[in-house]
Amino acid sequence: MAVVWLLVLLENRKKMKTTNVPKILPLVSIIIPAYNEEDTIKESIESALNIDYPKNLLDIILINDCSTDNTKKIGESFLERGLIRMVNNNKNMGKAYSLNRTIDMAKGDLIACLDADSLVSPDALKKMISVLENPKIGAVTPAFKVRKTNNILEKLQFAEYSLNVFLRKIMGAMDSIHVTPGVFSLYRKSILKEVGGFEVGNLTEDMDMALKIHTAGYSIDSTTDAICYTYCPSKLKPLFKQRIRWYRGTIKNSIKHKHMFFNRKYGNIGLFFMPFNFISIIAVIILLASWGIYYFLNFSKLIWQLSLVNWSFDAIFQYFALEKLLFMFIYNLPVLPIMGLIIGSYTLYKSFNITGEKISDHKPGYFIYLLVFPLFLTLFWSAALIYEIAGVKNRWY
C-alpha cells in the first residue's frame, strides 16, 4: 500500500495546497456535540467564534447530550451573550443522535461538525469551503494535529496524525477517503439529509457517513493547510480503548458496506482501497504472528543446542563458521519491514513537510513511531478482531 501512496504523491505533488477562497461565502452551521466535556468545551467554542468568517454567516450550535458535569453551564454562558445557540437532550442519546437532531435546525447550507475536544484555526473554514466549489464533492476534511505533546505517547500520535494528513490528501486524489472525522469535517447539508444522517449506535459514525456519501455518488476531499487540533490519549489504556472502538467500527462498517467491495460503480474506493485495506490488515496480523513463531522456534533451537554443549557459546560459534552465521543473518532479515521502514521514513518526512512541521522538533516521536508504533497498531488490530470474533459487547469508551 505504501508504494501506491508514493506513486500517487509523485503524480499529485503539485496539488497538495488548497485553491483560492471563493468570493461569495455561504452560511455555515457549526455543530458541537458535547457530553461531559467541561475541560475542553470552552476552548472549543471560542475557537469556533474566532474563525475568520463573517459573523452573520456563522451559525454555531452546541448540543449538550445530558452532561452531568459543568458542560451545560459553560455553554449557557455563551448562550446568554447571544454568541451561540444551544440544544439540550433530556437523556444521553449519543453523538449520532445529537448530530441528527441538530442538522434539522441548522440554518446553513454547509454544516461543520466540531468535536468538543477539538479546536479550529481561524483560516481553516475559508480554505475548506474552496474545495466544496466542486459540486461533485459532498464533504471535505481538514488537516488536524495533536494539540498537546507532553509525553512520548502523545508524540507518537502527533507523528501518526501528521502522516494521516498526508495520506488523506493522497486518498482524496484517488477518491478514496473513507472517514470524515469529527475534527471539523465540512458537509453539504443536503447530502447529510439525502443519506439519512448519521447512524445511531454506530461505533464509528464518521466512517459510516463517509461511505454513505460515496454510495450516494459524491466524492470526499481533504486539505493540508486548513489546520485543526484535537487532544489525544496520554496514557496507554485510554489509547487502547480508543483504538479498539475505531478498529471494531472499521470492521463493522466494512461488513455493512461490503456491497462496495470490488465494485466498479464506486471507483477506486470500492474497486481497490476498501478490499485491499481490509485484506492487508489481516495479512499484517498473520505475517506478524508467523514471524513471532519463526523467531520463537529459532530461539528454542538455540537454547536446545546450548544445552547440548553445556551452555558454551564458544562451542556454538566454533560449530558455525562466521560466513555461515553472516549468511543466516542476511537470509533471515525481514525484507518487507525494512522496505516499509524506508518508504515510511520518506512518507513521514513529506507529511511533516506538507503540514509545516520540522522533524528536528519531533525527533523522538518520529523515530520511535517508525520503529515501534506499527507494532502497537498491529496488536490493537489483533485485539479488535479477537473482540469481534468473541462477540464482546460494543462500548463507546
CATH number at residue 80: 3.90.550.10
205-225 burial, b at 16+ Cβ within 10 Å, e below that, comes to bbbbbbbbbbbeebbbbbbbb
Cα angle, residue 46 at apex, residues 51 and 50 outer, rounded to 5°: 20
Is 58 among the domain residues? yes
The predicted-structure confidence for 224-258, as pLDDT tens digits, reads as follows 999 999 999 999 999 999 999 999 999 999 999 99
On whether the CB atoms of residues 7 and 343 are closer than 8 A, the answer is no
**Is 248 within a domain?**
no
User: Which pLDDT belongs to residue 298?
Assistant: 73
Q: What is residue 84's three-state secondary structure? A: coil
Classify strands 219-230 and 137-146 as parallel, antiparallel or unpaired.
Answer: parallel
Can you give the pLDDT at residue 169?
Answer: 86
Three-state secondary structure of 93-108:
CCHHHHHHHHHCCCCC
pLDDT of residue 368: 80
Alpha helices in 124-225 (DSSP H): 124-131, 152-173, 189-194, 205-215
Which whole-number Å values give the CA distances from 381 to 82, 86, 122, 166, 280, in the listed order?
45, 38, 36, 22, 11
Q: What is the pLDDT of residue 62?
A: 98
CA distance 81 to 46: 13
Report yes or no on 90 lying in a domain: yes
Low-confidence residues of the chain: pLDDT under 50: 321-323
- CA distance linking residue 96 with residue 31, whole number of Å: 12
292 burial type by CB count under 10 A (0-12 exposed, 13-18 middle, 19+ buried): exposed
- Distance separating alpha carbons of residues 207 and 213, to the nearest angstrom: 10
Counted domains in the chain:
1
Distance, in Å, from the CA atom of 233 to the CA atom of 238, rounded to the nearest integer, reads 6
How many residues in the chain?
397
For 126-279, where are the E strands, in sequence order?
137-146, 183-188, 219-230
Pick the closest to residue 159 from 350, 336, 315 (CA basis): 350
Residue 304 within any structural domain of the chain: no
Quick one: pLDDT at residue 40? Answer: 97
State the residue range of the domain holding 85: 24-233
pTM: 0.85
pLDDT given at position 1? 56
pLDDT value of position 328: 53
Partnered with residue 30 across adjacent β-strands are: 60, 112
Report the Cα–Cα distance between both ends of the chain, in Å, rounded: 30
Query: SS3 breakdown of the chain: % helix, strand, coil, rounded to 5?
Result: 55, 15, 30
370 in a structural domain: no
Quick check: is 260 in a domain? no
Domain annotation covers residue 128: yes
Residue 354, all three cell numbers: 506538507
In a domain, 178, yes or no: yes
- Residue 347 has a pLDDT of 75
pLDDT of residue 292: 73
**Helix/strand/coil (H/E/C) assignment for every residue in 17-82:** CCCCCCCCCCCEEEEEEECCCCCCHHHHHHHHHCCCCCHHHEEEEEEECCCCCCHHHHHHHHHCCC
